[in-house]
Amino acid sequence: MKVEVVEAGGVYDVFAASLVHSDVTFTLEMELTNLKASKSLPFIGTIRGKQREKILQLELVNKKKGGGYECKYFYRIGNLNAEHDTTNIYQLPYEIGASHRVTQSYFGKLSHDENSHYAVDFAMSVGTKVCAAREGIVVGFYENSDQGGPNDKYLKLSNYILIRHSDLTIGAYYHLKNKGVLVRIGEKVARGQVIAYSGNTGFSFAPHLHFEVLKAKTGKESQSLPIKFKTRRGIISEPLQGKSYIAK
Protein backbone atom coordinates (compact mmCIF):
# COMPACT_ATOMS: atom_id res chain seq x y z
CA MET A 1 0.00 0.00 0.00
CA LYS A 2 0.96 3.67 -0.15
CA VAL A 3 0.23 6.70 2.04
CA GLU A 4 0.32 10.23 0.57
CA VAL A 5 -0.08 13.65 2.22
CA VAL A 6 -1.31 16.53 0.05
CA GLU A 7 -0.99 20.06 1.50
CA ALA A 8 -2.98 23.11 0.41
CA GLY A 9 -3.34 26.34 2.40
CA GLY A 10 -2.34 24.87 5.73
CA VAL A 11 -4.63 21.84 5.39
CA TYR A 12 -3.08 18.42 4.85
CA ASP A 13 -5.20 15.66 3.30
CA VAL A 14 -3.93 12.15 4.03
CA PHE A 15 -4.67 9.47 1.43
CA ALA A 16 -4.13 5.72 1.54
CA ALA A 17 -4.06 3.47 -1.52
CA SER A 18 -4.14 -0.29 -1.93
CA LEU A 19 -1.75 -1.33 -4.69
CA VAL A 20 -3.05 -4.90 -4.79
CA HIS A 21 -6.36 -6.48 -5.72
CA SER A 22 -7.19 -7.30 -2.11
CA ASP A 23 -8.54 -5.17 0.70
CA VAL A 24 -5.67 -3.95 2.87
CA THR A 25 -5.91 -3.17 6.57
CA PHE A 26 -3.37 -0.64 7.83
CA THR A 27 -2.16 1.09 10.96
CA LEU A 28 -1.01 4.69 10.45
CA GLU A 29 1.23 6.29 13.08
CA MET A 30 2.07 10.01 12.92
CA GLU A 31 4.14 12.44 14.96
CA LEU A 32 2.71 15.95 14.52
CA THR A 33 4.22 19.38 15.03
CA ASN A 34 1.69 22.23 15.26
CA LEU A 35 -0.89 19.99 13.57
CA LYS A 36 -4.01 18.25 14.79
CA ALA A 37 -5.62 15.23 13.16
CA SER A 38 -9.30 14.88 12.35
CA LYS A 39 -9.20 11.31 13.72
CA SER A 40 -7.47 9.66 16.64
CA LEU A 41 -3.95 8.41 16.06
CA PRO A 42 -2.70 5.80 15.52
CA PHE A 43 -5.44 5.24 12.94
CA ILE A 44 -6.52 1.75 11.87
CA GLY A 45 -8.60 1.28 8.73
CA THR A 46 -9.18 -0.79 5.60
CA ILE A 47 -8.72 0.28 1.98
CA ARG A 48 -10.45 -1.69 -0.77
CA GLY A 49 -8.31 -3.36 -3.42
CA LYS A 50 -6.87 -1.02 -6.07
CA GLN A 51 -8.57 1.99 -4.44
CA ARG A 52 -7.28 5.33 -3.13
CA GLU A 53 -9.19 7.03 -0.33
CA LYS A 54 -8.84 10.08 1.89
CA ILE A 55 -8.53 8.73 5.42
CA LEU A 56 -8.03 11.84 7.55
CA GLN A 57 -7.07 15.51 7.54
CA LEU A 58 -4.46 17.54 9.39
CA GLU A 59 -4.89 21.22 10.25
CA LEU A 60 -2.57 23.80 11.72
CA VAL A 61 -3.07 24.49 15.43
CA ASN A 62 -1.37 27.90 15.24
CA LYS A 63 -2.00 29.27 11.76
CA LYS A 64 0.84 31.75 12.14
CA LYS A 65 3.39 28.95 12.28
CA GLY A 66 4.29 26.12 9.98
CA GLY A 67 3.43 22.51 10.62
CA GLY A 68 5.33 19.29 10.30
CA TYR A 69 4.76 15.56 10.48
CA GLU A 70 6.49 12.22 10.41
CA CYS A 71 4.55 9.10 9.54
CA LYS A 72 4.99 5.37 9.25
CA TYR A 73 2.49 2.70 8.41
CA PHE A 74 2.05 -1.04 8.54
CA TYR A 75 -0.38 -3.17 6.58
CA ARG A 76 -1.84 -6.64 6.19
CA ILE A 77 -3.92 -8.25 3.46
CA GLY A 78 -7.54 -8.51 4.61
CA ASN A 79 -10.55 -6.55 5.80
CA LEU A 80 -10.88 -5.24 9.34
CA ASN A 81 -14.64 -5.83 9.20
CA ALA A 82 -14.59 -9.46 8.05
CA GLU A 83 -17.19 -11.58 9.86
CA HIS A 84 -16.35 -15.28 9.66
CA ASP A 85 -19.23 -17.51 8.54
CA THR A 86 -18.94 -20.18 11.23
CA THR A 87 -21.56 -22.36 9.51
CA ASN A 88 -19.13 -23.06 6.66
CA ILE A 89 -17.55 -26.52 6.69
CA TYR A 90 -14.15 -26.59 4.98
CA GLN A 91 -12.73 -29.32 2.79
CA LEU A 92 -9.36 -30.60 3.92
CA PRO A 93 -6.89 -28.79 1.63
CA TYR A 94 -6.03 -31.82 -0.48
CA GLU A 95 -7.70 -34.21 -2.88
CA ILE A 96 -10.86 -36.12 -1.96
CA GLY A 97 -9.89 -39.59 -0.78
CA ALA A 98 -6.32 -38.57 0.09
CA SER A 99 -5.06 -38.86 3.66
CA HIS A 100 -2.46 -36.69 5.39
CA ARG A 101 -1.15 -36.58 8.93
CA VAL A 102 -1.46 -33.46 11.10
CA THR A 103 2.01 -32.48 12.29
CA GLN A 104 0.91 -29.35 14.17
CA SER A 105 -2.60 -28.23 15.05
CA TYR A 106 -4.38 -25.52 17.00
CA PHE A 107 -2.12 -23.82 19.56
CA GLY A 108 0.89 -25.75 18.24
CA LYS A 109 3.93 -24.96 20.37
CA LEU A 110 6.44 -25.16 17.54
CA SER A 111 5.32 -22.14 15.51
CA HIS A 112 1.58 -21.49 15.89
CA ASP A 113 1.85 -18.40 18.06
CA GLU A 114 -0.93 -16.04 19.10
CA ASN A 115 -1.55 -14.82 15.55
CA SER A 116 -1.71 -18.36 14.16
CA HIS A 117 -3.39 -20.26 16.98
CA TYR A 118 -5.85 -21.95 14.62
CA ALA A 119 -3.44 -22.93 11.85
CA VAL A 120 -3.03 -26.58 10.85
CA ASP A 121 0.06 -28.22 9.34
CA PHE A 122 -0.34 -31.31 7.16
CA ALA A 123 2.62 -33.53 6.28
CA MET A 124 2.95 -33.64 2.48
CA SER A 125 5.73 -34.77 0.17
CA VAL A 126 6.96 -32.06 -2.16
CA GLY A 127 4.74 -31.93 -5.23
CA THR A 128 1.49 -33.08 -3.59
CA LYS A 129 -1.64 -31.45 -5.02
CA VAL A 130 -3.04 -28.70 -2.79
CA CYS A 131 -6.78 -28.01 -3.09
CA ALA A 132 -8.90 -25.01 -2.16
CA ALA A 133 -10.58 -25.68 1.17
CA ARG A 134 -13.28 -23.16 0.28
CA GLU A 135 -14.32 -21.27 -2.84
CA GLY A 136 -13.14 -17.70 -3.29
CA ILE A 137 -11.02 -15.26 -5.29
CA VAL A 138 -7.22 -15.30 -5.43
CA VAL A 139 -5.95 -12.02 -3.98
CA GLY A 140 -2.28 -12.84 -3.48
CA PHE A 141 0.41 -15.38 -4.20
CA TYR A 142 4.17 -15.84 -4.31
CA GLU A 143 5.98 -18.74 -5.97
CA ASN A 144 9.57 -17.66 -6.63
CA SER A 145 11.29 -18.98 -3.51
CA ASP A 146 13.42 -22.12 -3.69
CA GLN A 147 14.70 -21.81 -0.12
CA GLY A 148 13.49 -23.19 3.18
CA GLY A 149 14.62 -24.77 6.42
CA PRO A 150 14.25 -24.84 10.22
CA ASN A 151 15.66 -21.37 10.74
CA ASP A 152 14.11 -17.91 11.26
CA LYS A 153 16.12 -16.57 8.33
CA TYR A 154 13.65 -18.36 6.03
CA LEU A 155 10.52 -16.78 7.56
CA LYS A 156 9.84 -14.50 4.59
CA LEU A 157 10.80 -17.03 1.93
CA SER A 158 7.68 -19.16 1.88
CA ASN A 159 5.66 -19.54 -1.31
CA TYR A 160 1.95 -19.02 -0.67
CA ILE A 161 -1.56 -18.39 -1.97
CA LEU A 162 -4.16 -16.08 -0.38
CA ILE A 163 -7.84 -16.63 -1.26
CA ARG A 164 -10.58 -14.19 -0.22
CA HIS A 165 -13.84 -15.83 0.82
CA SER A 166 -17.34 -14.37 0.53
CA ASP A 167 -17.27 -13.32 4.21
CA LEU A 168 -14.02 -11.37 3.52
CA THR A 169 -11.84 -13.79 5.50
CA ILE A 170 -8.64 -15.03 3.85
CA GLY A 171 -7.62 -18.65 3.30
CA ALA A 172 -3.82 -18.89 3.49
CA TYR A 173 -1.79 -21.77 2.03
CA TYR A 174 1.95 -21.70 2.82
CA HIS A 175 5.26 -23.54 2.09
CA LEU A 176 4.34 -24.26 -1.52
CA LYS A 177 6.73 -25.60 -4.15
CA ASN A 178 8.89 -23.25 -6.19
CA LYS A 179 6.87 -22.32 -9.31
CA GLY A 180 4.12 -24.51 -7.90
CA VAL A 181 1.19 -22.05 -7.93
CA LEU A 182 -1.51 -22.92 -10.48
CA VAL A 183 -3.79 -19.89 -10.07
CA ARG A 184 -3.45 -16.17 -10.62
CA ILE A 185 -4.66 -12.90 -9.07
CA GLY A 186 -8.37 -12.29 -9.60
CA GLU A 187 -9.13 -15.90 -10.51
CA LYS A 188 -12.24 -17.48 -9.00
CA VAL A 189 -11.51 -20.88 -7.52
CA ALA A 190 -13.96 -23.61 -6.56
CA ARG A 191 -13.92 -25.66 -3.40
CA GLY A 192 -11.72 -28.68 -4.06
CA GLN A 193 -9.96 -27.16 -7.08
CA VAL A 194 -6.25 -27.98 -7.36
CA ILE A 195 -4.50 -24.64 -6.80
CA ALA A 196 -0.85 -25.53 -6.15
CA TYR A 197 1.76 -28.15 -5.36
CA SER A 198 3.07 -28.45 -1.82
CA GLY A 199 6.69 -27.78 -0.99
CA ASN A 200 9.16 -27.08 1.78
CA THR A 201 9.85 -23.36 1.40
CA GLY A 202 10.10 -20.78 4.15
CA PHE A 203 10.46 -21.57 7.85
CA SER A 204 9.85 -25.30 7.69
CA PHE A 205 11.18 -28.36 9.52
CA ALA A 206 9.94 -30.81 6.87
CA PRO A 207 7.78 -30.79 3.72
CA HIS A 208 4.24 -29.80 4.68
CA LEU A 209 1.28 -27.52 3.99
CA HIS A 210 0.36 -24.80 6.47
CA PHE A 211 -3.30 -23.79 6.20
CA GLU A 212 -5.29 -21.23 8.15
CA VAL A 213 -8.20 -18.81 7.80
CA LEU A 214 -7.43 -15.21 8.74
CA LYS A 215 -8.93 -11.80 9.25
CA ALA A 216 -6.93 -8.60 9.65
CA LYS A 217 -6.76 -7.35 13.22
CA THR A 218 -4.60 -4.25 12.67
CA GLY A 219 -1.97 -3.30 10.12
CA LYS A 220 0.53 -5.19 12.26
CA GLU A 221 -1.41 -8.33 13.14
CA SER A 222 -3.75 -10.88 11.65
CA GLN A 223 -6.06 -13.13 13.64
CA SER A 224 -6.48 -16.79 12.78
CA LEU A 225 -9.96 -18.28 13.15
CA PRO A 226 -11.17 -21.71 14.29
CA ILE A 227 -12.75 -23.71 11.47
CA LYS A 228 -14.42 -27.08 10.92
CA PHE A 229 -13.34 -29.68 8.35
CA LYS A 230 -15.32 -32.37 6.58
CA THR A 231 -13.62 -35.80 6.75
CA ARG A 232 -14.62 -39.31 5.75
CA ARG A 233 -15.43 -40.03 9.40
CA GLY A 234 -17.46 -36.85 9.90
CA ILE A 235 -16.99 -33.19 10.74
CA ILE A 236 -14.12 -32.26 13.04
CA SER A 237 -13.74 -28.96 14.87
CA GLU A 238 -10.14 -29.48 15.94
CA PRO A 239 -7.68 -31.66 14.00
CA LEU A 240 -5.52 -33.70 16.37
CA GLN A 241 -1.75 -33.64 16.09
CA GLY A 242 -0.40 -36.99 14.95
CA LYS A 243 -3.68 -38.16 13.45
CA SER A 244 -4.36 -38.64 9.75
CA TYR A 245 -7.59 -37.53 8.06
CA ILE A 246 -9.14 -38.58 4.76
CA ALA A 247 -10.68 -35.74 2.75
CA LYS A 248 -14.31 -36.07 1.74
Query: What pLDDT was estimated at residue 112?
Result: 66
Question: pLDDT tens, 137-157?
Answer: 999 999 999 999 999 899 899
Q: Once rounded to an integer, what is the mean pLDDT over residues 169-177?
A: 97
Instruction: Check whether residue 221 and residue 115 sit in a common domain.
Output: yes
Instruction: Check whether residue 22 and residue 126 sit in a common domain.
Output: no
Whole domain around residue 239: which residue ranges? 89-246
Instruction: Check whether residue 212 and residue 107 sit in a common domain.
Output: yes
Instruction: Check whether residue 29 and residue 135 sit in a common domain.
Output: no
3-state secondary structure the chain: CEEEEEEECCEEEEEEECCCCCCEEEEEEEEEECEEECCCCCEEEEECCCCEEEEEEEEECCCCCCCEEEEEEEEEECCCCCCCCCCCEEECCCCCCCEEEEEECCCCCCCCCCCCCCCEEEECCCCCEEECCCCEEEEEEECCCCCEECCHHHCCCCEEEEEECCCCCEEEEEEEEEEEECCCCCCEECCCCEEEEEECCEECCCCEEEEEEEEECCCCCEEECCCEEEECCEEECCCCCCCEEEEC
Q: Which pTM was predicted?
A: 0.91
Query: What pLDDT was estimated at residue 236?
Result: 96
Number of domains into which the chain is organized: 2
Instruction: Check whether residue 41 and residue 104 sit in a common domain.
Output: no
pLDDT band at 10 (very low <50, low <70, confident <90, very high): confident
- Domain assignment present for residue 226? The answer is yes
Instruction: Check whether residue 111 and residue 71 sit in a common domain.
Output: no
Instruction: Check whether residue 21 and residue 127 sit in a common domain.
Output: no
Tell me which amino acid residue 174 is: Y
Query: What pLDDT was estimated at residue 21?
Result: 84
Instruction: Check whether residue 213 and residue 102 sit in a common domain.
Output: yes
